[in-house]
């Protein structure tokens, strides 16, 4: 156990001792000198200025090696500093950025170069990376020279210059980049969601504007973060991405503002985002084609952005009353982000002293505003969905009941004779099969009575079909009330009716029909205040099992009995024999 403990503790103690032995990072913000122009080079390739004591008067002190006074069109400058003494295990010089390309000499030895210098000592822009320059252990007390070329608005080193250990520098870079990486990932997710909503929602222009703004901000933060150089050491590519994201921001802002102020027809907003869209395409396209340097596209854009922001926010102030609460919150987040961008721009152009501007904070503020609005919308949507679900459930219940009633009515109509209101032939066919099956299974009687109005054709010809319909309706009601509740009256067609009587014998039905004929003889039907002639009926009866061994044959048997009643003089009841 003791040996295991020792094996785990030893590396930890060693790491602590190494960390305590290394010196803290040292800012090189004193002792700098500068000199305009470019040094001649000797035959062996070393610059003459690193070994010319006679030219000491040409060097001038400067607080920081950037933008010396009296540039007057100079594109070359030299800077130097005497390196202090300190103890580092793996010493490196860290430079935040250089405008634009540089060579670094330690005495007459070139130890670093960024960019390509031609015979005239000039070169093209190759990006704005941070620089890590390895130093020999014997650097203390020696002079470090920087040869710089720049046709940009700024010339020299920019941001920070530090002496430190390599591991400490990498840790420093990662810590400073962590916030940007998190915010960039968050904005990328927000952009994806916004574009998805743009595909499925009605107000697509608003979601496109939000998505484009989040995407541009995310790309800009990711490309600007120093950790990106550790992922892929292609500075110019990252700067192209920075430019694309940075230049797209006002396009996204203009799209969203134009959508919100659509009723006011804001031509200014449309012209602003269209102008910036053209600038994105033109600047990036010309730089990729090699016609211009990418670096030269930033100053004009910065000037254009200032004018555009003034125009946008003037429009917002004039029409602020049109916006709702959530739109005002987004505008506020836009405004804060724009303010951060303006401060960062001022630092980049030397209008403010160098400092790290929290651009990711402005972007995060925008993202949080969108998230807050989205959560509020989600809550409102959930409440609305609950209300709609409750309302839909009520509507479904009501419509289901109404549908059931309709189905019942349709079913009743499908089995009901439209004229008389009694059951029709379709119902009779299904009823007979059902009652026949019950009679067979239970061994109970089943009787059918066929009823036909005598001489009904002559009655129609004499009185008219409307009077005939009145008689059919009246007879249907009379039959329904005369027979038992268990009996079913159906109209077979024309003037013919049939009564299905489960459990009744032929004798019982004969008695019931005899009573019916007496009642019908006393009944007078009226049509249009006119009493119609008396009508008589003929009836045929067939019963199971008395007359048939199969109930379904009762239909034909009852019909034969009816024919017999007609043949024997009508107005009578005949039972099948």
Burial of 338 (0-12, 13-18, 19+ CB in 10 A): buried
Q: Which helix (H) or strand (E) holds 572?
A: none
| Residue 284 sits in the same domain as residue 213 | yes
CATH code of 352's domain: 1.20.1070
| Residue 366 sits in the same domain as residue 441 | no
| Residue 54 sits in the same domain as residue 146 | yes
Give the C-alpha separation, 416 to 426, whole Å: 9
Q: Are 549 and 430 in contact (CB under 8 A)?
A: no
| Residue 145 sits in the same domain as residue 209 | no
pLDDT of amino acid 389: 80
Q: Which helix (H) or strand (E) holds 368?
A: helix 359-414
pLDDT tens for each residue of the chain, 577 residues long: 334 334 433 433 343 344 444 557 899 988 999 999 999 999 888 999 988 765 677 899 999 999 999 999 999 999 999 999 878 889 999 999 999 899 999 988 999 999 999 999 999 999 999 999 999 988 888 999 999 999 998 999 988 999 999 999 999 999 989 988 988 898 898 888 888 887 876 656 667 888 888 899 899 889 989 999 998 989 999 999 999 998 998 888 888 777 767 666 668 888 888 999 999 999 999 999 989 989 899 889 988 988 888 888 777 777 777 677 766 777 777 778 778 878 877 777 777 776 677 777 777 777 677 667 666 766 776 787 788 888 777 877 776 776 676 556 556 567 899 899 999 999 999 999 999 999 999 999 999 999 999 999 999 989 899 999 999 999 999 999 999 999 999 999 999 999 999 999 999 999 999 999 999 999 999 998 888 888 999 999 999 999 999 999 999 999 999 999 999 999 999 999 8
| Residue 183 sits in the same domain as residue 328 | yes
The strand pair at 156-165 and 530-531 is best described as unpaired
In a domain, 552, yes or no: yes
| Residue 92 sits in the same domain as residue 163 | yes
Residue finishing a domain among 170, 189, 216: 170
Work out the number of other CB atoms within 10 angstroms of the CB of residue 56: 8
In a domain, 369, yes or no: yes
CATH code of 433's domain: 3.30.70.270
| Residue 166 sits in the same domain as residue 186 | no
Angle at 367 between CA 371 and CA 310, to 5 degrees: 125
Lookup result for tokens 């043949």: 567
| Residue 459 sits in the same domain as residue 552 | yes
Report how far apart, in Å, the C-alpha atoms of 423 and of each of 431, 463, 543 are: 10, 26, 21
Plot region of 556 (φ>0 → left; ψ -120 to 50 → alpha; else → beta)? alpha
CATH code of 51's domain: 2.60.120.260
Domains in the chain, number: 3
pLDDT of amino acid 374: 64
In a domain, 264, yes or no: yes
Q: Are 460 and 533 in contact (CB under 8 A)?
A: no
| Residue 118 sits in the same domain as residue 213 | no
pLDDT of amino acid 419: 92
pLDDT of amino acid 412: 55
pLDDT of amino acid 201: 66
In a domain, 356, yes or no: yes
Whole-model pTM above 0.75? no
In a domain, 7, yes or no: no
In a domain, 13, yes or no: no
Give the C-alpha separation, 571 to 535, whole Å: 9
Kindly state the tokens that stand for 57. Answer: 């008067």
In a domain, 397, yes or no: no
| Residue 477 sits in the same domain as residue 536 | yes
The strand pair at 32-36 and 60-62 is best described as antiparallel
In a domain, 4, yes or no: no
Sheet holding 488-493, edge to edge: 488-493, 496-502, 446-453, 537-544, 573-575
| Residue 377 sits in the same domain as residue 437 | no
DSSP readout, 101-131?
A: EEEEEETTEEEEEES---TTS---------E
| Residue 43 sits in the same domain as residue 125 | yes
Q: The domain containing residue 492 runs over which residues?
A: 425-575
Residue finishing a domain among 383, 407, 438: 383
pLDDT of amino acid 334: 73
Report the residue count for the chain.
577
Residue finishing a domain among 151, 170, 189: 170
3-state secondary structure of 251: helix
Kindly state the tokens that stand for 136. Answer: 């020999």
């Amino acid at each position: 156990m003791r040996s295991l403990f020792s094996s785990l503790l030893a590396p930890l103690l060693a790491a602590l001792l190494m960390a305590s032995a290394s010196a803290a990072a040292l800012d090189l913000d004193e002792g700098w000198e500068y000199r305009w122009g470019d040094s001649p080079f000797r035959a062996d390739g070393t610059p003459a200025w690193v070994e010319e004591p006679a030219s000491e008067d040409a060097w001038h002190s400067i607080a920081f090696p950037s933008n010396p006074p009296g540039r007057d069109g100079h594109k070359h400058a030299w800077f130097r500093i005497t390196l202090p003494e300190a103890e580092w295990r793996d010493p490196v010089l860290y430079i935040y950025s250089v405008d634009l390309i540089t060579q670094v000499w330690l005495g007459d030895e070139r130890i670093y170069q960024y960019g390509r210098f031609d015979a005239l000592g000039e070169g093209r822009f190759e990006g704005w990376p941070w620089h890590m320059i390895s130093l020999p252990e014997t650097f203390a007390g020696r002079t470090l020279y920087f040869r710089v070329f720049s046709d940009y608005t700024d010339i020299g080193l920019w941001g920070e210059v530090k002496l430190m250990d390599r591991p400490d520098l990498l840790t420093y870079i990662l810590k400073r980049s962590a916030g940007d990486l998190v915010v960039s990932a968050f904005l990328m997710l927000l952009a994806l969601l916004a574009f998805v909503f743009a595909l499925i929602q009605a107000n697509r222009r608003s979601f496109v504007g939000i998505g484009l703004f989040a995407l541009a901000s995310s790309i800009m933060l990711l490309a600007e973060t120093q950790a990106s150089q550790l992922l892929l050491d292609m500075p110019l590519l990252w700067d192209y991405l920075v430019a694309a994201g940075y230049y797209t921001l006002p396009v996204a802002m203009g799209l969203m503002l134009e959508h919100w102020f659509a009723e006011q027809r804001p031509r200014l907003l449309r012209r602003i985002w269209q102008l910036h869209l053209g600038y994105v395409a033109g600047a990036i396209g010309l730089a990729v084609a090699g016609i211009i340097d990418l670096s030269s596209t930033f100053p004009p854009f910065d000037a254009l952005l200032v004018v555009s922001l003034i125009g946008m926010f003037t429009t917002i102030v004039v029409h602020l009353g049109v916006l709702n609460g959530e739109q005002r919150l987004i505008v506020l987040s836009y405004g804060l982000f724009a303010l951060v961008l303006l401060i960062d721009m001022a630092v980049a152009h030397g209008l403010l002293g160098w400092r790290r501007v929290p651009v990711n904070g402005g972007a995060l503020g925008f993202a949080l505003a969108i998230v807050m609005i989205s959560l509020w919308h989600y809550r409102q949507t959930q409440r609305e969905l609950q209300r709609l679900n409750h309302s839909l459930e009520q509507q479904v219940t009501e419509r289901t009941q109404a549908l059931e009633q309709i189905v019942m009515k349709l079913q009743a109509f499908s089995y009901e004779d439209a004229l008389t209101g009694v059951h029709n032939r379709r119902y009779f066919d299904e009823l007979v099969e059902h009652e026949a099956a019950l009679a067979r299974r239970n061994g109970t009687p089943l009787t059918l009575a066929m009823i036909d109005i005598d001489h009904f054709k002559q009655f129609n010809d004499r009185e008219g079909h409307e009077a005939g319909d009145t008689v059919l309706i009246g007879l249907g009601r009379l039959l329904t009330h005369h027979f038992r509740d268990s009996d079913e009256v159906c109209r077979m067609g024309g003037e013919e009716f049939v009564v299905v009587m489960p459990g009744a014998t032929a004798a019982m039905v004969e008695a019931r029909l005899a009573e019916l004929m007496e009642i019908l003889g006393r009944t007078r039907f009226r049509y249009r205040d006119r009493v119609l002639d008396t009508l008589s009926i003929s009836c045929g009866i067939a019963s199971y099992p008395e007359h048939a061994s199969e109930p379904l044959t009762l239909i034909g048997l009852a019909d034969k009995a009816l024919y017999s009643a007609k043949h024997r003089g009508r107005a009578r009841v005949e039972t099948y024999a």
